Structure formats: structure tokens, C-alpha cells
Amino acid sequence: MMAQEAEIGRKASLLSILSVKYEDDRRKSSLGQKVPKDPYYVVYITCFLMGFMNVVPIFFFNAAAGYWMYKFRDPSLGSGTTSGSERTTLQAYYQPCAVVAQQLPSIIFSFILTVYGHKFSAMKRVLVTLSLFVVLYLTFAVFTQINTDSWQSGFFVMTISLLVLNTALTATIQMSSAVVMAKLPQNYLMSFLLGQNGSILTSILQIIAVAVTDFQPTAGLIYFLVGSFIIAITLALLMMSRNTKLFEHYQVEVANNQHSEMISRVEAKELLKKIWPSLVITCILIGNMTTIHPAITTLVESQYNNTSWSDKYFTPVCVFLTSDAASLLGRIVSNKALITESNKWWYVVITLARFLVSVPICMLFDAQPRTNIPVIFNKDWEFIIFSALFGFTMGFLMNISFMSLKSLAPGKQEQSLKIMVLSFSLTSAITAANGLLMVKALLL
């Protein structure tokens, strides 16, 4: 998951700002004209799936933790997924390396798209990206049926390399889809934002996949084939939507001037003085996330060792589904809360305290392998409570930090968001290796 929850909040804010920019255009296009109907809700469903595509590529790879543990297990110990002290170096370092593979390329490609993206229409970028996603997922589906035990290190490098490609495609579709969807009316935007909460669906899918089979490669095959199917359906529906009168009415594919205004140093300084609480909170949250989740949380072992619960369900249910559901609840609850001059310090202190408390507590769960650090919390219910609280507070605080930009800097939301996005990217890059360091600390 890493900073994906933060990414959702950032994209929601970007979409809101773009939507406001296009509101006048929508009003003018509807003046004296009857708005076309959306037959069979094709466009509405497409918007939901497009939002889902903003998060599904990253969440799919993270939620398939059991499959990756199988691929990088010690083959000499049998076909079962090794765990605990038997966990291999590749198993221990997969998630932290995945964090780096997902964070750094995201920043690089976001910068490239910001500078050169205007040379290609947003719709074309989305269509090409979805097509490449289908190919990528089918590639991973094929490798679930290939025995990679004799070249695990090579497969590890290949997997991380393909994750870099996956991240580049994700960055492309995130930036491009927001531009396309923002031209549609509010109810379609809400469908798009609802789809961005689809991380819960990927967790449920992973649980279903491991429920129907005890063999991780088969579960992985089901998982990636379903992913390929969902992406292909999204691509097909988007192509259908392009030919609807609704898309034509709102001029969804009409190019706009995508060269953004530059922010002067003086203006940036003034904005920093106003939005610094949101900025500080966001940076702390990202650092907190990359330090322990999923780098450490996916290594936590269930108290019921060698059972169907511990081998198949513990990680997808307790690490991902619990955290995702709690984060969604946190975002919903935070809708009416805002950072103000009177309460800004409270939010900053609470966020910092969350960081300082959650990291050592997480290290005291039964994350394996480990050497000298003692295990204090070894009960499943304790970890479930931790995962729920961590997810809830993440969703709550992240949503508030972005949604408060309007009140902290009235009339400067777009410029404020640019500064937030830059800080978001820099913090992600600086803290990307935190998970690796924490895994190393467990092994000292």
C-alpha cells in the first residue's frame, strides 16, 4: 500500500480542482441544449472502472503477498510457503524493494508527463496505457505457471523491473484519467472517485483466490487473469464511451491548454506560510507509511502457525482488507473536518505522535525473520486492532490535509496543490528506502 492512500487523496483533490475549472465549460455546453442520456449507464460504469484503474495496478501486486512468498520461498523445504524463521532473504526484502520500485519511478514519470504530456492527448495516453496493462498482467499470469525455483534471483530482478514498468503506467493513467473525467458532470466524477476506493475489492479478490485453491501459483493465476479481464473490460467500455453523445456533448476529448502557470518564488513563499500544516502532516504520513506498511506488516505472522488461516487468509485479511476498510471509513468520517488556524498545531502534533508510536509498536509484532528484537504483541486480535487504527488515522488525516487547502489558501487551491504534489513526490523519494532499513533492523 505504501503511500497509495495518500495518492488517492491527492488525486481526489486534483480532480476537484480540475472539475471546478471546467464547470463554466459544462454550463455553457448545456445552455439551451438537452443533455444526452447515458444508455445502460455505460459512461457511469466506465467512470467507476477508470477510478479503479488508478489504484488497481499497485494494489494488485501488493495484495498478492502469498503468491510472492511462494515464488521466493526456499524450494528445499517443499512446495509450501515458508514462513517465520524459515523465511528467505528474497521473501524478507520483496516488499521493501517493491516500495522503491513503485515510488521512485512514479516521481520520474510524473515529472516527464508534466513536462511532455501535453504533446499527446489525455485520451490517447489512457488507451495506450490500458492496452499495455493487459499485456503486463497476462505476462505475470503466464509466469504463475512457470517453475522459477532454479532462477529465483533472476525472477526477483525481473519482477522488480516489471514493477517499475507497472508504476510508470500507473503514473500515466492517474495523471491522464483525471483530466478526461473532470470534464464530466458531478455524478460521473463521484463514480470515478468511488472507483478509486477499489483497493478493498482487490483484497476481497485475493481472499477469494486463495479460498478456491491451496496452491499459490493457481491462486496467482486466478488473480492476474481476473485483473487482465477487468482492465480489458475497462478498455472496451472506454472505447464505447468515446462514441457516445454524452462524451461529445461535454467535449471530453477536446484538447485544452495544458501548460500550467509557473509559481513565482514570492508566491510560493506566501503559500508555504499558509499551507504548511497540510504540508507537514502529509510528509509525516508518507514517511510513516513507507516505514512500516507493507514492508513490515506483510512479514507479521499469525499466532496460529501452520493452519489454513495463517497460511492463506491472515495477510490478505488482517494486513490489507482491514487497513483498506478502515482507511475508507476514515476518509468518510473526515469529510466535515478541516485544518484551521485554531487547531492546526493539534493535527500536526497528533500526526507526529502517530508516527513515533506506530513504528516501534509495529516492530514489536511477530514480524519474521528477526533476531534480537523481542516479540511483545503476538496475538492476532492485537495486530487487527493496530492495522485498523493505522488505516483509519491514515485515511482521516490524509483526506483532511488535502481538503483543507481551500480554507487555508482561498482562491489559490491549484497553486497550493502543485506545491503539495511536489512535496508528496520528494517525500516519497526520500523515504522510499525506509522499509528496507526497518527489515534490516529486524535482522540485526
CA atoms of 99 and 436, how far apart (whole Å): 9
Which position has the grid cell 473526515?
334
For the residues of 193-259, what is the DSSP string, one character each? Answer: HHHTTTHHHHHHHHHHHHHH-S-HHHHHHHHHHHHHHHHHHHHHHHHHHHTSHHHHHTTTTS-----
Per-residue pLDDT of the chain (444 residues), as tens digits, is 444 545 545 555 555 555 555 555 555 555 456 778 888 889 899 988 988 887 777 777 776 778 888 899 888 876 655 565 667 889 888 878 887 787 777 777 777 776 676 677 888 889 999 999 999 999 999 999 999 999 999 999 999 999 999 988 888 887 788 777 767 886 787 778 777 767 777 778 778 877 888 888 888 898 899 889 999 999 999 999 988 888 887 777 665 544 444 567 777 788 888 889 999 999 999 899 989 988 899 899 999 988 889 888 898 899 988 998 898 888 888 877 889 888 999 999 999 999 999 999 999 999 988 888 999 999 999 999 999 999 999 989 988 887 787 788 887 766 776 677 677 767 877 887 888 889 889 987
Q: Which of 61, 110, 54 is nearest to 231 (CA)?
A: 54
Q: Annotate 335-368 with DSSP letters as a single string.
A: GG----TTTHHHHHHHHHHHHHHHHHHHHTB-BS
Ramachandran quadrant class, 40 (left: phi over 0; alpha: psi -120 to 50; beta: rest): left
CA neighbours closer than 13 Å in the CB half-sphere of residue 182: 25
- DSSP-assigned letter for residue 274: H
Tell me the pTM.
0.74
C-alpha cell at 167: 508504476
C-alpha to C-alpha distance for 48 and 56, rounded to whole angstroms: 12
Using the 8-state DSSP alphabet, how is residue 121 labeled?
-
**Planar angle of CA 286, 292, 293, nearest 5 degrees:** 75
* Calpha distance 354→254 (Å, rounded): 45
Give 384-388's long-range contacts (Cβ < 8 A, gap of 24+).
384/318, 384/322, 386/358, 386/361, 386/362, 387/297, 387/318, 387/319, 387/322, 387/323, 387/326, 388/322, 388/323, 388/325, 388/326
Q: What is the pLDDT of residue 2?
A: 44
Q: Which helix (H) or strand (E) holds 90?
A: helix 89-116
> Which domains, from first to last, does the chain contain?
4-443 (1.20.1250)
At 259 the pLDDT is 46
The answer to whether residues 87 and 315 touch, using CB atoms and an 8 Å cutoff, is no
Predicted local distance difference test score (pLDDT) of residue 23? 54
Sign of CA dihedral 408, 413, 110, 289: positive
